[in-house]
Amino acid sequence: MVSLKSFSLFETLTDEQDQRFSAMVRSGDYGANELVLDFDDSSHSVFLIQAGRVRVILRIATGREVILGEFADGEFFGELAAIDGTTRSANVTALTRTRVITVPQSVFLAILRDSPDVALQLMRSMSILIRSLNTRLAEHAFLPAKYRLYSELIRLSRPRKGHDGQRIVSPPPIQLELAERIGCRREVVSREIAKMERENIVERSRGGLILADMNELNRRLSEGWNAGSD
């Protein structure tokens, strides 16, 4: 039997609570590219990722997609529908083979009522999500596509070992996915990355896309925000 306490959201449960509530959940496996949740689905369960990775996507009527985020081992999704009882606002697809723990809505709400510490941890997690979405909303409202690209590359990157001041996006980002993350056409992303390569701001490598000149990238991003405030 899975232990809910192994997930950070529920780590403050007592042993008794853990045993009681863990007996009420179930596990399931999804293959790569398999749909876990669909837009407008009427289910209200919460999903905990035991292993794997999923992507949250919003599709509009014209067929265009916007990537809202990704979740991996130890993280969770689906809490909004569990709380307000409405249909799903996006779809969720497994990126790799993924095992999820399904917590029925009734169990999830019972945990929140029974454990104020879990409820507080949920509020903290939702605050982080709201702040992130607010940042993205501001970028879409005030920044042209190329500046949104700079910001997204920085968000996706991590420090490059052995190269002070450089960062890397690994594995190498797919241009279509970058476009879907920032809400523009793939051609815009392709053109801007090629331009940054010529200017030695980014470099392609087998291991990923290297952000070689972070000072210049941050300077340009600041320039975009300053221009948007004029």
Write a three-state SS string for the chain: CCCHHHCHHHCCCCHHHHHHHHCCCEEEEECCCCEEECCCCCCCCEEEEEECEEEEEEECCCCCEEEEEEEECCCEECHHHHHHCCCCCCEEEECCCEEEEEECHHHHHHHHHHCHHHHHHHHHHHHHHHHHHHHHHHHHHHCCHHHHHHHHHHHHCEECCCCCCCEEECCCCCHHHHHHHHCCCHHHHHHHHHHHHHCCCEEEECCEEEECCHHHHHHHHHHHHHHHCC
* Distance, CA of 55 to CA of 143 (rounded, Å): 24
Q: What is the pLDDT of residue 1?
A: 79
Q: What is the pLDDT of residue 126?
A: 95
Q: What is the pLDDT of residue 111?
A: 98
Q: What is the pLDDT of residue 228?
A: 60
* Distance, CA of 166 to CA of 210 (rounded, Å): 7
* Token pair of 151 as six digits: 């910001």
Mean pLDDT for each 10-residue chunk of the chain (230 residues)? 95 97 97 94 96 90 79 96 94 97 98 98 95 92 95 96 94 92 94 97 94 96 82
Q: What is the pLDDT of residue 229?
A: 56
Among residues 166, 151, 141, 138, the alpha carbon closest in space to that of 222 is found at 151
Q: What is the pLDDT of residue 227?
A: 85
* Distance, CA of 97 to CA of 211 (rounded, Å): 30
* Distance, CA of 165 to CA of 23 (rounded, Å): 48
| Residue 100, amino acid | V
* Distance, CA of 101 to CA of 92 (rounded, Å): 15
Q: What is the pLDDT of residue 134?
A: 94
